[in-house]
Structures are given as structure tokens and as C-alpha cells.
Amino acid sequence: MRILLIGAGGVGDAIAKIAATRNFYEIFVVSDYDFARAEKTIEWIRNRHGALVAEKFIPAKIDAGNAAVVADLARAHNITHLINAVEPKFLTTIFSGAYTAGVNYIDLALSLSEKHEADPHHKTGIKLGDGQYALNDQWERNGKLALIGCGVMPGLSNVFARYAAQNLFSEIDEISIKEGGNLAVTDENGKPIFAPSSSIWSTIEECLNPPVVYERDRGWFTTEPFSEPEIFEFPEGIGAVECVNVEHEEVTMLPRHIRVNRVNFKYGLGAEFISVLKTIQKLGLDATKPKRVRSAQGPVDVSPRDMVAAVLPNPATLGHQMSGKTCAGVLITGKDMDGKDRATFIYHVADNAESMAELDTQCVVAQAAFNPVIALELMANGHWKGAGVMGPEAFDAQPFLDLLSSTYGYNQRWFIQERLPASPLRHP
């Protein structure tokens, strides 16, 4: 296996660091628009693991917005598998470049959605991932696998849902993906600051777009942003967090392979974060289309959302200012194998202190980075194989979870927690 990683930012940097502890590949090309950033990642690997490990890693410069450049770099290194670890706005060109180069592909998020023009808060337009799923037949004919949405959410959450469907439930009423934490970021004086722990560009996209919900008798539909608030008790000391509906990939992915009556995604944002996001939207700062701005150097075209991302701290650099934990989990309700009511929360918790000690990477980034590396190892050993465009829920969950948690694997613990069954929640 010869791997090309596109993007050496927060998640890409962590992916390479995690891969450095494994030996299932021949070479690992770390590419970024900023060549020095790719070099920095490899230098960290050299310092931590030695020159013998680091010699497998090759730095490269790339323009992720040019499909031909992506394909050329893949061909130049005889790449077999490409990892896309950059912002979703570059997904289309990287996805196209991987197909053109004839390599297998893996990413952590899906192609972007577009709102329904006439009724955006009730009807779906173009859903997350539609642009990729539409090319399934082409990838099948090409004999290559495009494994999409294989981060933590989506990704590990999909694996948890598949595991529950395989082993714990005879019937599934609802799959509700839950993300929440008690992370805090402080400045150099120890005062709390507003600093999102993951990409603000992507956070704006998923939180301000109309959330998508799936119901088997209705199909996919949308609601108002921040709909269906609920208080959810997260484990391991995180505690009660208010969660709301946001747009997320699992809702468009899971019903394709798992029989379920309802799927939603709920994000524990908190009142302050929701207020900030609403202000960004009210001011039009969530827009991606460039606006003409006057400056001392003359008029320039600036994307408002890119500007917001530029003035906030880079999440990848916040690890030393961050404390707390983050939880990625899936609450499944339905009937157990004996036909009795069951409610089960399957989850993984990442502690920032631990991820900083092990990877010099903040926990939200690290939690996402383990999963594409595990998936690649499963491809290398033949446990996961196929052709076409598929998510992690299309594959056997057990080998993934075994490798995730074992001491010979990635030593990341996951948990099954029983909750009291409740009547299914229905919304108009």
C-alpha cells in the first residue's frame, strides 16, 4: 500500500503521526499547499520515532483545488490509496483527481449540500454526499473503493451503528448520533476565550444549514437550525449538555445500509456558541461567495466565511490551551435480540491531556484521525474490501472495533452503556 495524504493541517498532521506507529504501508506521502507544514509533520515523526520510521514519509506540495495536480502527484508516487484531510470545499476536486489517477480514496466528510430553493426548512435540496454517491457506478467500473465519511463523526459513529445493528438489536427504531464535551480554551492568562475546537468553516456549514432528519415513512426532510433541543447526559464526567439538530453526514449515510425508522444528529453546542453562530448568520458572515472589500491596497474579493476562519485561532494549535474531554456516541433505541425494549449508548471519549501527551495534538483532531488509518489497515489486510462509493456502515464493524481497542492495535477504548428505554420521540 502506497498512501498519499492531502492536507497536513490539524487532522492530517495527526493522521500521519498515528500512521507512523503502524507498518502496513510502503510509503506515506504527506502533502500540503504549505510545503513547510508537511515537512514539520515528518520532522515530528523523525524526532519521536527515529529516522528509520521517518524515511517512509515523503513531503510534497500540492494545490488541492486542482484535480489534475492531485492526479499527477498520485501517479508520480505510484499511489494506491489517497486520504483527503482538507476542508470539504476542496472535496470535489480531490475526489475527481483520485478517480482520474485510478487510486482508492478515503475522506472524513462528504460532498457539500445545497438548500432546497423554495422550502429549505422542510425539503431537502442536494444532500450531503449526493455528489459522491451519484458516481458509485463509475467507481465500481473502475474497480476502486471510495470510502467516504470515515472520520469520527461521520466514521466511528457509523461503525457503532453498524455494530448495534449486527449484534445488539433485532429492530431499530431510532439512531441518534450525539456529540458533546466539556472542553474549555483559555488565553495565556488563564481566561476563557471563544475558540472553536474544530474547523469554524465546517462548523458554520453544518450548524447553520437546515438540519436533515430521516424517517422511513417520509424519507429525508429538513427542519429549522437548532431544532428539537434536548438535554443529554454524556458519560465520563462530561455531564448534561443541551443538544440540538444540525446537518450531518450520518443522517444521509446510515439508512442506505441499516434498516431504521429514524435517524438524526444532535450536537451539544451550548448557549454561547449558538448565539455566536446566529450572529454570524445575521451579519451574512456565513456566506462563501466572495464579496468586494475596500482595503489600503485597493479592492479585494473576500469570502466572509474565510474571513471569519482567518481571524479565529487555528483549532490545530489550541491543544496546549485546552482542557477537558469530548464524546462521540450513538444512542440506539429499539428491540433487543429477544424482542424487549432496549436503549443503548455506544461511545468513545477523547481526553485532551492524553492526546497532547501521545500525539502533541488536541483531542477533537486526534479522535477524528484514528479512524481513516484503521480503515486503511483493514483494507491492507483484506478485512474491508470492495468497489464503489460506500461509507463505513457498509462493512463489518467487528474488525474495526477490535483493531481500535486492542493493545496490538490502536489502544482506544470504546464503551457500551445501557440507558432506560423510553417511548420513541416523534416530531411534527
Confidence of residue 194 (pLDDT cuts 50, 70, 90): confident
144, part of any domain: yes
Instruction: Count up the domains in the chain and report the number.
Output: 2
Per-residue pLDDT reduced to its tens digit, 238-248: 999 999 999 99
- Asked if residues 142 and 387 have their Cβ atoms less than 8 Å apart, the reply is yes
Q: Print the domain residue range for 185.
A: 156-365+413-419
Please report the pLDDT score of residue 324 as a whole number.
93
Report if residue 427 sits inside a domain. no
* Whether residues 101 and 68 fall in one domain: yes
Alpha helices (H) in 2-118, listed in sequence order: 10-19, 35-49, 51-54, 67-76, 91-101
pLDDT given at position 301: 87
Give just the sign of the alpha carbon dihedral 372, 374, 377, 383. Answer: negative
Between CA 29 and CA 158 the distance in angstroms is: 27
**What is the tens place of the pLDDT at every residue in 327-348?**
999 999 999 999 999 999 999 9
Residues 245 and 109 in one domain: no
Indicate if 198 and 341 belong to the same structural domain: yes
pLDDT band (50, 70, 90) for residue 309: confident
Percent of the chain residues topping a pLDDT of 90: 78
| Dihedral of alpha carbons 310, 313, 319, 323, sign | negative
**Distances in whole angstroms, Cα of residue 413 to Cα of each of 128, 188, 344, 347:** 29, 32, 17, 9
Residue 426 lies in a domain: no
Query: What does the pLDDT average to over 73-84?
Result: 98
Question: CATH number for the domain including 287?
Answer: 3.30.360.10
Strands 291-293 and 300-302: antiparallel
The SS3 of residue 125 is coil
Which H or E element spans position 365? Answer: helix 363-380
Query: 94 and 212 in one domain?
Result: no
Same domain, 203 and 294: yes
Sign (positive/negative) of CA torsion 286, 289, 292, 298?
positive
Query: Would 312 be classed as within a structural domain?
Result: yes
pLDDT at 427 over 50: no
The DSSP letter of residue 197 is: S
Residue 285 and residue 144 in one domain = no
What was the pLDDT predicted at 204? 85
- Among the residue ranges 50-54, 158-162, 288-292, 413-417, the one predicted with the least confidence is 288-292
pLDDT of 422 reads 63
User: Is residue 113 included in any domain, yes or no?
Assistant: yes
Residue 297 pLDDT greater than 80, yes or no: no
**Same domain flag for 239 and 339:** yes
Query: Is the domain of 163 the same as that of 18?
Result: no
Other CB atoms within 10 Å distance of the CB of residue 416: 13
Q: Is residue 107 part of a domain?
A: yes
Q: Is the pTM of this model over 0.85?
A: yes
